[in-house]
Structure 1
């Protein structure tokens, strides 16, 4: 399974490894965008990582870009609507610790030209012991969620921006996912995670305090918006159905009026601020088709994207248009302005402009992979690019997404592209338990079904010959839950996998649950099992329980500040590898949390991990 390196190429100018190394460097140097808000004059509040981490940038109507922040860690933000002088609320943490703090910056102030550093921010909510998550902003108020009461439950608080006075709207416990203020600003709709897998709960607080959805129902509700008269809510939901549809739900949840739905794919809605129109994503196999509809579901127009991908929408205050950030397998992320009446696209940022002319990219094909128990695993296959290293022909990497209640989508992934640029075929599956394929599929890995998801790795390995790939030359790569899957694969299926790259992965479900942040524990237990009642199964499903079977070399990457999967998960697996004399490498980044947010760290870690696999496969 090891490449023969005894005969180096005679002509170094045509050494594929040289060109592939340059391609990897170019891919990991690409810049990315995020989309946060639009103001009344059409300016877009975006994020851009030109500096090495995601920072706030304002894009004017004429396309002029102005850097707003230069913070040591990534940040996001929202405009304060109608403010004069113009203001932005900034959400930021320290080194990826996810303890979000909230500050303010003033725009167009000649006395304080940007970009703003950390010392230039005006603090609004600063207590690094707790998280303060920006949820919504009105002309007069900031709405945020925080775990400062007991470090576990998240309360919803309204802060008056003028006086700084605060009102607690909700302190009933749980993990708050999102909130949205009613048009009359008397009520807030709140979405929290339910204590069962893949489910959420919606209720209102303030002037219209009512339960909207059944807390006991196994259903996911998201993208909640108020109707124009504030008498009902518009939301995407799989209430009483397999795939997510768009509903109008009455106050109290007595009436569920379907507006748009399908029997074979999910629909997602982004509702305009005045609740007269919505952008609808038809989600199939990891990509969306976009259409525009009146709020009652009447079709207005189709939006034609350059290629299938995953869009994120932000509406202009007057609902005349919305901005769309679209990522696709061959586009690192472009921003478009979309006319809400015609669907016409105007390019604001062309993400492809930064691509070198001689940089080949891989486009995936869509497959269904059979399993021994009769299921079909959705899988995207990225072939190696032309002129890649011929010595890697037949070698493959299985790239597993995090979550587990998440989804591998058809977006631009520089790591996947880097692996194909070297010469690997990359398989990107949505193993059972993944979102995007209906309520049944996302539930097939809950608690005691966890190892059925791990078994899907074996089915994918069995399928490799269908692609002409060598089963002896296949490795696993994954982050977070994907890291757990890497470790589970190499320990529980030791004869199948030649190597693994584990990024912020879980080595023991028991120690993970014991040491993860307190505010996350209950909601991770809903998926994996409870420490109090399911400990025996958690031990049985933990990779560290099978170390006596481990033979594959491992490359391990972790952030020192990770609040989700503590560094101890990496340290204990690496200690076991060292004790057994198994080849391994550990890279720990002191300024990172759950994953690598900074370009410099990605440029250090990922080429080394790819070289590690190349030397083995």
Structure 2
């Protein structure tokens, strides 16, 4: 992923051609971009400046960037851009806790806005006031704190089992607007004033609802997560409805207000388009397409893309497991009845209505593709995402087994199922193959966890505490962590496995894949390990994707072919 500039008429100028993925923000009032980038997927983000006036004749490489905040040993993540200064968060003080820093561009002087500890996941800044969101020690929960003038105030309690995100300051006030499931199952839009008075602006008993306030505080962009896709509307500052924003495609939205609050830039990532860019005029209601994500596709490819159907799969205990189904557009010889289950990472995440070249390619190859949101997944309320916490971890594994029994309902053959997953999804793949052997035709594990013990021992120090809140701690839960680790049951595994990993992965170390490869080699179970020296937690580079993904497709086809 690289930076591209769009002018008001939609003309495009490529700005960067860096060796890895990057992102960026304009500096207000200047034709300069703050570029955020890392080294080979190591997630140690660095900040640089790129002058785009005049527009570059060729995209910028690393040597064309002006270093702004650089130290390759630590994370420097961009929080905000303001006139004459940037705000970022960094773990350089002790490698674990994140501080929030303001850097003056002209002098290079820096001031600390927040350094009171914790893993800072999100920051919103208004002048010298920062609303800081931290991962708390409760599973899938956050704490909100307000930092101002060297003083830190707790907006929410550290032990509150609730998720508060995104959190936004109303400019010029000490009032916050945020999406929170405090005391609720689904997240509602709430307003919290300086006296800690909570007011619910908008709520649903069926969907998570979040808000993006306009810079002048006059409007709220309301986003409803409905079955993994986003529905948009403009509401007033007190939650009253004003207008819906009709989207052509049902997908996942990113959005940003213009500084004058007159326009919304909207990105839509949907199953049938890798990314549309829209511009919404709040005064006229006009919605204009700046980028059609399908315009570079051939008509044949565009017509072949599948919008999945949603189903609820019955589980062993009466629960219903949400699942998307991608059905093959046409039969492929030897593949009728074959099934691939693509399991998302997280675990506190959701498979959503987004573009997936993997799902589309698998369906085009003739497989029924199932994308489940097993217990532990977000988007279906706090009760559902709490049903795999710590000692309940293996309940999510049993959900996959339950889905196997259901696959004849969509024309699938239970004896020809391949499991595919990345990160925590890779853990679930390995757990199913080892704990429930003989049920699966093949497994593809992308940067997955093979032992919860060695994973927690070797993951990056700043991530260990937040991972222990979900899986259990090395100090208190080691026995269960061993019980819930795929490596413990490797003696029973007999399924061919393909493993892909990045050598620079700071989250799930390469050793997690190396140790399962070595154990399977000793046991005589077919296992292929592909390692990319210039990747981290997943595959960011097109060349590597074009190498690994076709290899995975071929491997799956070979194992499930009738």
> Is the counterpart of residue 378 in structure 1 residue 322 in structure 2?
yes
Residue 75 of structure 1 corresponds to which residue in structure 2?
Answer: 22
3-state SS of 1:490 partner: helix
3-state SS of 1:533 partner: coil
2:58 and 2:262 map into 1 onto residues whose CA distance is 30
Alpha-carbon shift at residue 580 of structure 1 (Å): 1.1
- Relative contact order higher in (CA < 8 Å, ≥ 6 apart): 1
> Is the counterpart of residue 548 in structure 1 residue 491 in structure 2?
yes
1:229 and 1:91 map into 2 onto residues whose CA distance is 28
3-state SS of 1:494 partner: coil
Which runs of no fewer than 5 residues in structure 1 stay unpaired? Answer: 1-53
> Is the counterpart of residue 101 in structure 1 residue 46 in structure 2?
yes
Alpha-carbon shift at residue 477 of structure 1 (Å): 0.2
Q: Would you say the 8 A contact 1:210–1:251 is kept in 2?
A: no
Residue 527 of structure 2 corresponds to which residue in structure 1?
Answer: 584
> Is the counterpart of residue 516 in structure 1 residue 463 in structure 2?
no
> Is the counterpart of residue 538 in structure 1 residue 481 in structure 2?
yes
3-state SS of 1:488 partner: helix
Alpha-carbon shift at residue 143 of structure 1 (Å): 0.9
Q: Deviations over 1:553-599 (max 9, x none)?
A: 00100001000000000000111111111112111111100000011
Residue 410 of structure 1 corresponds to which residue in structure 2?
Answer: 353
3-state SS of 2:294 partner: helix
2:283 and 2:158 map into 1 onto residues whose CA distance is 37
1:598 and 1:358 map into 2 onto residues whose CA distance is 26
Match for 1:347 among 289, 292, 307?
Answer: 289
> Is the counterpart of residue 89 in structure 1 residue 34 in structure 2?
yes
Q: Would you say the 8 A contact 2:430–2:450 is kept in 1?
A: yes
Residue 358 of structure 1 corresponds to which residue in structure 2?
Answer: 300
Q: Would you say the 8 A contact 1:394–1:469 is kept in 2?
A: yes
Residue 397 of structure 1 corresponds to which residue in structure 2?
Answer: 340
1:475 and 1:377 map into 2 onto residues whose CA distance is 19
Q: Would you say the 8 A contact 2:121–2:134 is kept in 1?
A: yes
Q: Would you say the 8 A contact 1:301–1:341 is kept in 2?
A: no
> For residues 455-534 of structure 1, what are the structure 2 equivalents within 5 Å?
455-534=398-477
Alpha-carbon shift at residue 88 of structure 1 (Å): 1.1
Q: Deviations over 1:451-503 (max 9, x none)?
A: 01111011100111122211000010000000001000111111211110000
Q: Deviations over 1:47-72 (max 9, x none)?
A: xxxxxxx1111101011111111111
CA distance 1:343–1:177, shift in 2 (3 Å): farther
Alpha-carbon shift at residue 296 of structure 1 (Å): 1.3
Residue 45 of structure 1 corresponds to which residue in structure 2?
Answer: none
Alpha-carbon shift at residue 342 of structure 1 (Å): 4.6
1:568 and 1:350 map into 2 onto residues whose CA distance is 41
Match for 1:174 among 118, 122, 126?
Answer: 118
Q: Deviations over 1:481-529 (max 9, x none)?
A: 0000100011111121111000000000000000000100000000000
Alpha-carbon shift at residue 196 of structure 1 (Å): 1.1
Q: Deviations over 1:84-126 (max 9, x none)?
A: xx2111111000000001111112147x755221011111111
Residue 65 of structure 2 corresponds to which residue in structure 1?
Answer: 121
Q: Would you say the 8 A contact 2:170–2:213 is kept in 1?
A: no
Residue 255 of structure 2 corresponds to which residue in structure 1?
Answer: 313
Runs (4 or more) in structure 1 with deviation over 3 Å come to none
2:297 and 2:519 map into 1 onto residues whose CA distance is 42
1:342 and 1:328 map into 2 onto residues whose CA distance is 26
CA RMSD for the aligned pairs? 1.2
Match for 1:294 among 230, 236, 243?
Answer: 236
2:553 and 2:23 map into 1 onto residues whose CA distance is 31
1:564 and 1:576 map into 2 onto residues whose CA distance is 22
> Is the counterpart of residue 141 in structure 1 residue 88 in structure 2?
no
> For residues 198-213 of structure 1, what are the structure 2 equivalents within 5 Å?
198-207=140-149, 209-213=152-156
1:405 and 1:94 map into 2 onto residues whose CA distance is 26
Residue 280 of structure 1 corresponds to which residue in structure 2?
Answer: 222
User: Which region of structure 1 is more displaced relative to structure 2, 559-568 or 205-214?
Assistant: 205-214
> For residues 555-594 of structure 1, what are the structure 2 equivalents within 5 Å?
555-594=498-537
Q: Deviations over 1:173-204 (max 9, x none)?
A: 1111111111xx13111111111111111111
Give the total of aligned pairs: 557
Task: Normalising by structure 2, report the TM-score.
Answer: 0.97
User: Which region of structure 1 is more displaced relative to structure 2, 463-472 or 590-599?
Assistant: 463-472
2:283 and 2:182 map into 1 onto residues whose CA distance is 30
1:367 and 1:373 map into 2 onto residues whose CA distance is 17
Residue 367 of structure 1 corresponds to which residue in structure 2?
Answer: 311
Task: Normalising by structure 1, report the TM-score.
Answer: 0.89
1:121 and 1:260 map into 2 onto residues whose CA distance is 44
